């Protein structure tokens, strides 16, 4: 691969070559980014996948000035550690990760499958039937189950409608998994978006007073809380606590055990309403697992789950 160690590429993120480094294989498609996230810019590119020139999305992290001189080095190290795990993932409802690029900015760019469609909230404005929404929340649960059944489990950390994409066939794809656990927001240039506290479990916003536990401590159980809020978001067509304009008021409400009022489209489905209420329980131990959610939605069976577990212990 080409030598990128020279400092002549000012503003370029430079690392050693590795199998996950796709820098010289990516062709930039367009002179400008196509989207802006809270901590990243989204570009379009082309990559040869199985001998076919394929459109890919490049999510370029946006770094700010850091007080830590080793910030970029440590970030790249952690991303590449996670990347080795992400490269092994293969599921129809989990976004495909291909590798990294290092020439789009000061920080790495994640190369992902490109989804021409919209996120799930944009999609359900056009496809708004309850049957479609129920199918989508089921597909999200299947993606989350797949992430959680990895060993160690992959925690999403930021599950919400904006981070669920819809592919060209109208199926939900869970994206941006694991990034929230890597990115310390104080080290990144942020574009203000709707406060993620609206999907965040109470134990994350008010963790136990334990100096030995790093903050925040996202878990599979906090993901389930976020899943419940995402189900509400999809069926209600609006973010949780939409009537509350202040993030502080939202945090206060969640910590006090208040939840959004379920829309009739959920209330009319008793099993779904009970599932949502249990999933956003104040007590994390009372929340079902993603596997149990899939069973209750009729998407999997005990036997299928047992086979999934068995396959998890067999060599690939």
Instruction: Cite the annotated binding site by residue number.
Output: 59
With b for 16 or more beta-carbon neighbours within 10 A and e for fewer, the 275-307 pattern comes to bbebbbbbebeebbbbbbbbbbbeebeeeebee
Reference 268, options 94, 82, 134, 102; nearest CA is 134
**Residue 147 burial class via C-beta count within 10 angstroms: exposed 0-12, middle 13-18, buried 19 and up:** buried
**Residue 239 burial class via C-beta count within 10 angstroms: exposed 0-12, middle 13-18, buried 19 and up:** buried
Q: Which residues pair with 101 in a beta bridge?
A: 109
Contact of 227 with 200, CB cutoff 8 Å: no
Q: What is the dihedral of CA 35, 41, 45, 48, to 10 degrees?
A: -120
3-class DSSP state for residue 301? coil
Reference 237, options 125, 78, 118; nearest CA is 125
Binding residues for ATP: 59
Contact of 270 with 252, CB cutoff 8 Å: no
Q: How many CA atoms lie within 13 A of 44 on its CB side?
A: 12
Q: Which residues contact 167 (CB under 8 A, 6 or more apart)?
A: 115, 117, 173
């Amino acid at each position: 691969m080409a030598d990128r160690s020279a400092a002549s590429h000012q503003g370029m993120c430079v690392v050693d070559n590795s199998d996950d480094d796709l820098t010289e294989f990516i062709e930039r498609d367009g002179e400008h980014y196509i989207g802006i996230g809270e901590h990243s810019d989204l570009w379009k590119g082309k990559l040869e996948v199985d001998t076919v020139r394929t459109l890919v999305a490049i999510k370029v992290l946006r770094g700010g000035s850091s007080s830590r001189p080793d910030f970029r080095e440590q970030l790249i190290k952690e991303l590449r550690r996670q990347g080795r795990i992400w490269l092994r993932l293969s599921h129809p409802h989990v976004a495909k990760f291909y590798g990294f690029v290092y020439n789009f900015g000061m920080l790495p760019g994640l190369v992902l499958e490109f989804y021409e469609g919209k996120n799930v909230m944009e999609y359900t404005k056009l496809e708004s039937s309850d049957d479609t929404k129920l199918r989508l929340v089921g597909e999200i649960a299947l993606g989350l189950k797949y992430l959680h059944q990895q060993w160690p489990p992959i925690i999403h950390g930021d599950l919400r409608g904006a981070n669920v994409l819809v592919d060209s066939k109208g199926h939900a794809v869970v994206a941006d998994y694991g990034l929230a656990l890597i990115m310390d927001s104080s080290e990144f240039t942020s574009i203000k978006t709707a406060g993620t506290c609206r999907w965040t479990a109470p134990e994350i916003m008010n963790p136990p007073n334990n100096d030995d536990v790093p903050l925040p401590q996202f878990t599979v159980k906090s993901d389930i809380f976020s899943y419940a809020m995402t189900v509400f978001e999809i069926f209600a067509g609006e973010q949780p606590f939409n009537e509350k304009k202040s993030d502080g008021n939202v945090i206060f409400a969640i910590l006090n055990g208040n939840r959004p009022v379920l829309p009739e489209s959920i209330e009319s489905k008793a099993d779904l309403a009970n599932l949502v209420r249990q999933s956003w329980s104040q007590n994390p131990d009372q929340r079902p697992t993603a596997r149990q959610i899939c069973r209750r939605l009729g998407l999997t069976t005990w036997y299928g789950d047992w086979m999934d577990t068995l396959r998890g212990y067999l060599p690939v």
